[in-house]
Protein backbone atom coordinates (compact mmCIF):
# COMPACT_ATOMS: atom_id res chain seq x y z
CA UNK A 1 0.00 0.00 0.00
CA UNK A 2 2.79 2.44 0.93
CA UNK A 3 4.70 1.59 -2.23
CA UNK A 4 1.65 2.27 -4.39
CA UNK A 5 1.05 5.59 -2.57
CA UNK A 6 4.70 6.63 -2.98
CA UNK A 7 4.60 5.69 -6.67
CA UNK A 8 1.44 7.76 -7.17
CA UNK A 9 2.96 10.78 -5.44
CA UNK A 10 6.13 10.44 -7.50
CA UNK A 11 4.15 10.19 -10.74
CA UNK A 12 2.22 13.35 -9.86
CA UNK A 13 5.43 15.20 -9.02
CA UNK A 14 7.03 14.20 -12.32
CA UNK A 15 3.85 15.13 -14.20
CA UNK A 16 3.78 18.58 -12.62
CA UNK A 17 7.51 19.18 -13.00
CA UNK A 18 7.45 18.78 -16.80
CA UNK A 19 5.41 21.91 -17.56
CA UNK A 20 7.31 23.88 -14.94
CA UNK A 21 10.64 23.01 -16.54
CA UNK A 22 9.32 23.94 -19.96
CA UNK A 23 8.35 27.47 -18.94
CA UNK A 24 10.32 30.42 -20.19
CA UNK A 25 12.24 32.68 -17.87
CA UNK A 26 10.04 34.74 -15.56
CA UNK A 27 9.14 38.09 -17.09
CA UNK A 28 10.97 40.95 -15.47
CA UNK A 29 13.51 38.74 -13.73
CA UNK A 30 16.98 38.19 -15.16
CA UNK A 31 20.11 36.83 -13.50
CA UNK A 32 21.13 40.42 -12.65
CA UNK A 33 17.90 42.42 -12.33
CA UNK A 34 14.29 42.45 -11.14
CA UNK A 35 12.01 44.93 -12.92
CA UNK A 36 8.99 46.28 -11.06
CA UNK A 37 6.49 48.77 -12.42
CA UNK A 38 4.28 51.47 -10.95
CA UNK A 39 1.85 53.93 -12.43
CA UNK A 40 0.97 57.11 -10.64
CA UNK A 41 0.25 60.80 -11.24
CA UNK A 42 3.52 62.56 -12.00
CA UNK A 43 1.66 65.48 -13.55
CA UNK A 44 -1.83 66.94 -13.14
CA UNK A 45 -3.70 67.89 -9.96
CA UNK A 46 -2.45 64.91 -7.90
CA UNK A 47 1.19 65.21 -8.96
CA UNK A 48 2.38 66.08 -5.46
CA UNK A 49 1.23 62.71 -4.15
CA UNK A 50 2.39 60.77 -7.20
CA UNK A 51 5.88 62.25 -7.27
CA UNK A 52 6.39 61.75 -3.54
CA UNK A 53 5.13 58.16 -3.62
CA UNK A 54 7.29 57.22 -6.60
CA UNK A 55 10.31 58.87 -4.94
CA UNK A 56 9.63 56.90 -1.74
CA UNK A 57 9.52 53.61 -3.68
CA UNK A 58 12.70 54.57 -5.54
CA UNK A 59 14.49 55.40 -2.27
CA UNK A 60 13.50 52.05 -0.78
CA UNK A 61 14.72 50.20 -3.88
CA UNK A 62 17.99 52.15 -3.71
CA UNK A 63 18.39 50.95 -0.10
CA UNK A 64 17.78 47.36 -1.18
CA UNK A 65 20.22 47.70 -4.09
CA UNK A 66 22.89 49.26 -1.84
CA UNK A 67 22.66 46.15 0.35
CA UNK A 68 23.22 43.84 -2.62
CA UNK A 69 19.71 43.61 -4.06
CA UNK A 70 17.43 40.60 -3.77
CA UNK A 71 19.37 37.36 -4.08
CA UNK A 72 22.11 39.36 -5.81
CA UNK A 73 19.73 40.98 -8.30
CA UNK A 74 19.30 44.74 -8.52
CA UNK A 75 15.76 46.08 -8.41
CA UNK A 76 14.76 48.51 -11.18
CA UNK A 77 11.60 50.58 -11.03
CA UNK A 78 9.66 51.58 -14.14
CA UNK A 79 7.25 54.48 -13.46
CA UNK A 80 4.48 55.54 -15.83
CA UNK A 81 2.65 58.89 -15.54
CA UNK A 82 -1.17 58.71 -15.53
CA UNK A 83 -1.64 62.51 -15.51
CA UNK A 84 -4.68 62.01 -13.22
CA UNK A 85 -6.69 60.71 -16.19
CA UNK A 86 -8.44 57.35 -16.32
CA UNK A 87 -7.58 56.60 -19.98
CA UNK A 88 -3.91 57.34 -19.28
CA UNK A 89 -4.05 55.07 -16.22
CA UNK A 90 -5.42 52.24 -18.38
CA UNK A 91 -2.70 52.85 -20.97
CA UNK A 92 0.00 52.94 -18.28
CA UNK A 93 -1.21 49.69 -16.72
CA UNK A 94 -1.39 48.00 -20.11
CA UNK A 95 2.09 49.23 -21.00
CA UNK A 96 3.54 47.95 -17.74
CA UNK A 97 1.92 44.56 -18.17
CA UNK A 98 2.65 44.06 -21.86
CA UNK A 99 5.75 46.04 -22.75
CA UNK A 100 7.85 46.83 -19.71
CA UNK A 101 8.67 43.16 -19.05
CA UNK A 102 7.45 43.62 -15.50
CA UNK A 103 5.39 40.84 -13.96
CA UNK A 104 4.52 43.05 -10.99
CA UNK A 105 3.20 46.54 -10.98
CA UNK A 106 1.62 48.82 -8.44
CA UNK A 107 -1.09 51.40 -8.95
CA UNK A 108 -0.85 54.47 -6.83
CA UNK A 109 -3.87 54.61 -4.51
CA UNK A 110 -5.84 57.81 -4.63
CA UNK A 111 -9.21 59.23 -3.55
Number of residues in the chain: 111
Q: Quick one: three-class SS letters along 72-86?
A: CEEEEEEEEECCCCH
Query: Is residue 36 within 8 Å of 105, Cβ to Cβ?
Result: yes
17 pLDDT higher than 90: no
CA-CA-CA-CA torsion sign (51, 53, 58, 63): positive
Which pLDDT band, with edges at 50, 70 and 90, does 21 fall under? very low
41-88 confidence digits (pLDDT tens): 999 999 999 999 999 999 999 999 999 999 999 999 999 999 999 999
User: What stretches of the chain adopt beta strand conformation (E)?
Assistant: 33-40, 74-81, 104-107
Q: Which CATH class is domain 33-107?
A: alpha beta
Amino acid sequence: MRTAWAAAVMAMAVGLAGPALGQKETRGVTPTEIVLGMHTDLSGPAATYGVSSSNAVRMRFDEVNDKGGIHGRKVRLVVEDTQYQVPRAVQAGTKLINRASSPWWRRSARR
